[in-house]
């Protein structure tokens, strides 16, 4: 689920389709936030998306797309660490 694409706002997707489908992905934008954001940006987006999509079930955490070469290791670790902190749902 590419949450950075037009019309793919996480809040709207959850509101409109959350009762009918399980969301797979959308845990973090790999094109901008994971690649170019700070560690704090990564943590904030992962928490926000987990908190939003896990409400009432129906969510499998994964990045938006594959992790590309050149992404800072600290950002990748921050994504997985934050997921583990928030994953008890």
Q: What is the C-alpha separation between 63 and 19, in angstroms, rounded?
A: 22
Burial of 27 (0-12, 13-18, 19+ CB in 10 A): buried
Q: What is the C-alpha separation between 87 and 36, in angstroms, rounded?
A: 24
* 55 in Cβ contact with 29 (< 8 Å): no
Tens of pLDDT along the chain (89 residues)? 788 888 888 889 999 998 899 999 888 999 999 999 999 999 999 999 999 998 888 889 988 888 989 999 999 999 999 999 998 75
Exposed e or buried b per residue across 5-15, where buried means at least 16 C-beta atoms within 10 angstroms of its C-beta? eeeeebeebbe
- Flag whether the pTM goes above 0.85: yes
């Amino acid at each position: 689920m590419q949450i950075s694409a037009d019309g793919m706002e996480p809040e709207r997707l959850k509101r409109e389709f959350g009762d009918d489908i399980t969301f797979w992905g959308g845990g973090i934008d790999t094109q901008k936030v994971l690649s170019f954001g700070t560690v704090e940006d990564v943590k904030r987006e992962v928490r926000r998306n987990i908190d939003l999509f896990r409400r009432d079930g129906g969510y499998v955490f994964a990045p938006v797309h594959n992790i590309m070469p050149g992404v800072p290791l600290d950002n990748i670790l921050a994504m997985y660490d934050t997921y583990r902190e928030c994953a008890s749902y």
